[in-house]
Structure 1
Amino acid sequence: MKKSLLMSLMMVLVIVPFLSACSGDEDASGDGEVAQEITVNASSEPPSLDPALATDTTSGWVIEHVFEGLYTKNKDGEVVPGLAEKMELSDDKKVYTITLRDAKWSNGDPVTAEDFEYSWKRILNPETGSSFAFYLYYLKGAEEYNKGKGSVDDVGVTAVDDKTLKVELNSPTGFFEKLLAFWSYYPVNKSVVEGNKNWVAEADTLVSNGAYKLSSWEHDNQLVAEKNDNYWDKENISMEKITWKMVNDATTYYQMYKSGELDLITSLPVDVIPQEEGNEDFKITPYFGTYMYMFNVDKEPFTNPKVRRAFNLAIDRASITENISQSGEKPAKAFVPYGVETPEGDFREQKEAYFEENVEEAKKLLEEAKQEEGWDELPAVELIYNTSENHKKIAEGVQEMLKQNLGVEVTLNNQEWKTYLDTTDQGNFQMARMGWIGIYVDPTPILDYYLGDSPNNRTNWVNEKYDSLMAKSKGIQDEAERMKVLHEAEDVLMEDLPFMPVYYYTNNYLTSTDYEGVVYPVNRYPNLRWAKKVSN
């Protein structure tokens, strides 16, 4: 009997440590709750986490978790008040009086109306060099100040007191609240920014006001954000910690997902998509943007519009989407993607294609261009793209089509993302890959890309008629009339073709089934604020 009791005690001592070892993913309190942490892949180092300077979706993904503006988006993608507690609109719909809710920065400072005034005037300051300053041109006096033709004192944003912000617009703007949810309108902490010119470079100096604050940043490796205890709505944030890895190689990050090192990836290697389709962790969603190649119209051979059209006609976009990208994208023969609802239906469905692939016509146009320019042979063409396995495969497909269909030899060159942005911004390219995502679902933020004075328009293409139509559209209150003018603007763009649209984006994801509540916006990377880990 004693021997039996001894054996029982030994079994208990063996089993209890084993059970404890299996509970490593539970929180330290021992109450059995699952630690609310998620690890995702950003692919690369975000070029800038300064809301005034960020221009890319990678930076935006982090910024939208650590900062917040007057308006934000809820789980359903609807624009709702963020830091704005109350908003009053004047009878002429040009003046907004906004009352701020009680909110704090991650360092404990109060968020004030002065922070907003300072931030908006900072992004408009020509010395800041913001590529997205034009998104604030809806403010009275903003464009003039940004272009060095007006005074900062005339810009239509004023802190009346600590909690009251007065905003004056050039004209009524029905989508202004959507703009306020975009990161260019986010505040920064005035005292922090003025106290340290490198405030945004490291986790311990970056002060933010959103749901999360940075806790560590190993450059080119990973970035970690943890729930901000000073965030006004922290009780409704379920995910406690987000880690963004920076793994560029698609095969590597796919294997990391499969081994459990990553919980979510935003793009799959194209060769694994067929085998993942149908799995419960696989998801394809529309993405309101266009994958394209820009032509530098100041560099031969793209100085000639017939060359630009010939390249467009020589590409089989359906073959690219079906055989290379394989993610359910739709071939693009226009610029504005599907998904914009208008009084007459979907904007894109009203005119889906401005051209059809036609190799014979492309050859004819190319020969005409060579004769016009006196070229015996077409000048050498280099296509550059940012480093990515999927971008490489698409570029190789385009390269082969141009060779087979036009006899044009195109060389390929890849660069890391930050370097690539600098190269294209400086105009040091002939043909370059680019993607453009609308900051809100409307033709305007898409078509604004090719405005003559848009810093994002790296093609050097300027068309006064196009710019005039875009400006006209922004003062029209009737939606049907506004969409008509936007169609006219797109007509001008697609006639001159300073670019080659390839397809309308989709996003393909793998998300661990251990998580629920991840939000997949139509024009952003996943929002993780309301995600919850439900099992280990």
Structure 2
Amino acid sequence: MRKAFSNLSALLLLVSTILAGCSSNQTSSDAERKEEATKNVKQEITLNALSEPPSLDPALATDTTSGWVIDHLFEGLYTKNKKGEPVLGAASDVKVSDDGKTYTFTIREDAKWSDGDPVTAQDFEYAWKRVLNPETGSAFAFYMYYIKGAEEYNKGKASVDEVGVKALDDKTLQVQLDAPLSYFDKLLTMWTFYPVKKSLVESNKKWAAEAEGYVSNGAYKLTSWKHNSEVVVEKNEHYWNKDEINMEKVTWKMVNDATTYYQMYKTGELDLIQTLPTDVIAQEKDSEEFKIVPYFGTYMFMFNVEKEPFNNPKIRRAFAMAINRKAIVNNITKSGETPAYAFVPYGVNTPDGDFRKVGGTYFKENAKEAKKLLQEGMKEEGWNKLPEVTLMYNTAENNKKVAEAVQEMIKNTLGVKIKLANQEWKTYLETTAQSNFQMARMGWIGIFVDPTVILDYYLGDSPNNRTKWVNGKFDNLMAQAKVEQDETKRFQLLHEAEKVLMADMPFMPVYFYSQNYLTSKKFKGIVYPINRYPDVRWAKKIAD
């Protein structure tokens, strides 16, 4: 019996081992099959740009929609890695002088344009000086003012030859700064510093208006642009780092209606959407496809300080104090936004702590005080009745809901009836750039996480400052901060600058952004930067 039992035990052990081995092999085989199947999956993704990109010219783009596409088409001397850190891109090497003011970049030998031609240092020199050329009309030229002679040339006070950007040879670019800049590498990751192909741009002024003839140097090339419908880019076979790029094709649809693009996501026509309809957030927030990420920017309403009634600072402050920001973020946007009582968002680490926490708030919501300020402002202007007010916003469902809420809050708190008007994004940018408004919605996202790039918006000579507000003290503090090498002192100067801005209030902050997304489970490896829309260069579509 003992022998029979022993033999039976051995047999059972053998069977168990065989079964276990089969299970292990089976699991391994499933994984291998899935991996093999993924190799055969078309690496394509469809996103939603919401609207037509106003410009795909790096020198002229000023908005996040255009920037989203451009960031996939071009690459600067530096690019960003998956962690959002600046790393060398089109440059293979950089040397910095002992005084921190001269940078010498070596352009990669294998850096090429999407048509196969080599990218040269001359292309970079040409592109940057083109941005600075007053005739170009670049609204972001001021980001280059750190460069020696750049501001003077842009303002017509110096020649182009005095700008501290020079190609020493085909692969060597020298850049001279007015003063050392600790975040110069981060600055160079923004699209304003991308190269353009000199021979192409000089031969065709409309080179960036259509897909045909468009040439870029980044991970993708532009293959189709059906205006107001879709933009398509495909992997650039000439890109030096193409082996690291997983996604072969990216399509941006242009669907502005939130209900429509949400349904398109649900039916698989879109693989990723941002800014969900507010009425679906509650049902989606527990989904593994739902994501909320911080977004380094501020949602606001600008005041035109040269148009009645917002020529009066007390009336501007009255409007700012009259709305309920918590009600807006809790009942309308519902995506983790933070009520804003200043301009610079949370998220900037300083030697003293978070910049926003250190700076605190600059006003409080107070209906009684708002009414008092309104009456004082009207009395100062000699008005018995407030001039008619129109609030403008760019067409989008959530913008409409916020505008309607503000309209109702102003009416209930101040007894002022305001009208609403909306325009499509490209037209809206043109209208507000001409300061053809009284009160208008705007969002400002930092190109990197630093107070400077937020506060720069309201510089007196910034083309982005649509409010007509100019304050010499503010401009001077900002100028001092940009050359200050002591970080503690630099942040102190930036706090002082924000204090000046908030005392005059040429705008009313509403909330600090966060961004919500729905992303199909079919994709992995998508990067969600704090100051850009998703980067899909490393995304991968996996087999079901």
The one-letter amino acid of 1:198's match is: K
Q: Does 1:55 align with 2:65?
A: no
Alignment of 1:47-446 (within 5 A): 47-102=54-109, 103-446=111-454
CA distance in 1, matches of 2:274, 2:159: 43
Relative distance call for 1:217 and 1:352 in structure 2 (3 A) is same
* Equivalent position of 1:460 in the other structure: 468
Say whether the 8 Å CA contact 1:270–1:325 is kept in structure 2.
yes
How far apart are 1:215 and its partner, in Å?
1.1
CA distance in 2, matches of 1:266, 1:80: 27
The one-letter amino acid of 2:349's match is: E
The one-letter amino acid of 1:118's match is: Y
Q: Does 1:34 align with 2:41?
A: yes
1:119 aligns to what SS in structure 2?
helix
How far apart are 1:31 and its partner, in Å?
9.1
CA distance in 2, matches of 1:100, 1:423: 40
1:88 aligns to what SS in structure 2?
strand
Query: What RMSD, in angstroms, separates the aligned Cα atoms of the two structures?
Result: 1.2
* Equivalent position of 2:19 in the other structure: none
CA distance in 1, matches of 2:539, 2:39: 19
How far apart are 1:204 and its partner, in Å?
1.6
Say whether the 8 Å CA contact 1:239–1:528 is kept in structure 2.
yes
CA distance in 2, matches of 1:97, 1:522: 29
How far apart are 1:352 and its partner, in Å?
2.7
Relative distance call for 1:94 and 1:400 in structure 2 (3 A) is same
How far apart are 1:86 and its partner, in Å?
0.8
The alignment's TM-score, normalised by the length of structure 1, stands at 0.94
* Equivalent position of 1:475 in the other structure: 483
Relative distance call for 1:374 and 1:196 in structure 2 (3 A) is same
The one-letter amino acid of 1:101's match is: R
How far apart are 1:197 and its partner, in Å?
1.1
Say whether the 8 Å CA contact 2:258–2:276 is kept in structure 1.
yes
CA distance in 2, matches of 1:238, 1:303: 53
CA distance in 2, matches of 1:365, 1:429: 22
Say whether the 8 Å CA contact 2:38–2:541 is kept in structure 1.
no
1:126 aligns to what SS in structure 2?
coil
CA distance in 1, matches of 2:332, 2:482: 38
CA distance in 2, matches of 1:351, 1:277: 32
How far apart are 1:191 and its partner, in Å?
0.4
How far apart are 1:252 and its partner, in Å?
0.2
Q: Does 1:505 align with 2:516?
A: no
CA distance in 2, matches of 1:66, 1:230: 12
Say whether the 8 Å CA contact 1:222–1:246 is kept in structure 2.
yes
Relative distance call for 1:511 and 1:375 in structure 2 (3 A) is same
1:525 aligns to what SS in structure 2?
coil
Say whether the 8 Å CA contact 2:38–2:542 is kept in structure 1.
no
Between 86-95 and 153-162, report the one with greater CA deviation. 86-95
How far apart are 1:30 and its partner, in Å?
9.3
* Equivalent position of 1:21 in the other structure: none
Structure 1 runs not aligned, ≥5 long: 1-25
Relative distance call for 1:159 and 1:371 in structure 2 (3 A) is same
How far apart are 1:432 and its partner, in Å?
0.2
The one-letter amino acid of 1:490's match is: E
How far apart are 1:351 and its partner, in Å?
2.5
1:127 aligns to what SS in structure 2?
coil
Say whether the 8 Å CA contact 1:295–1:432 is kept in structure 2.
yes
The one-letter amino acid of 2:418's match is: V
The one-letter amino acid of 1:417's match is: W
Q: Which runs of 4+ in 1 moved over 4 A?
A: 29-32
Identity across matched positions, percent: 69
CA distance in 2, matches of 1:445, 1:39: 31
* Equivalent position of 2:29 in the other structure: none
Q: Deviations over 1:421-447 (max 9, x none)?
A: 010001110000000000010000000
CA distance in 2, matches of 1:318, 1:392: 17
How far apart are 1:535 and its partner, in Å?
2.3
Q: Deviations over 1:242-296 (max 9, x none)?
A: 0000001000000000000000001100111011001000000000000000000
Structure 2 runs not aligned, ≥5 long: 1-32
How far apart are 1:345 and its partner, in Å?
1.0
CA distance in 2, matches of 1:348, 1:141: 33
Relative distance call for 1:51 and 1:353 in structure 2 (3 A) is same
2:94 aligns to what SS in structure 1?
strand
Say whether the 8 Å CA contact 1:283–1:510 is kept in structure 2.
yes
* Equivalent position of 1:11 in the other structure: none
2:300 aligns to what SS in structure 1?
strand
Say whether the 8 Å CA contact 1:515–1:535 is kept in structure 2.
no
2:251 aligns to what SS in structure 1?
strand
Q: Deviations over 1:361-412 (max 9, x none)?
A: 0000000111111101110000000000000000000000000000010100
2:483 aligns to what SS in structure 1?
coil
1:324 aligns to what SS in structure 2?
helix
Say whether the 8 Å CA contact 1:383–1:430 is kept in structure 2.
yes
2:135 aligns to what SS in structure 1?
helix
How far apart are 1:355 and its partner, in Å?
1.0
CA distance in 2, matches of 1:51, 1:371: 47
Say whether the 8 Å CA contact 2:340–2:510 is kept in structure 1.
yes
How far apart are 1:113 and its partner, in Å?
0.2
How far apart are 1:32 and its partner, in Å?
6.0
1:524 aligns to what SS in structure 2?
coil
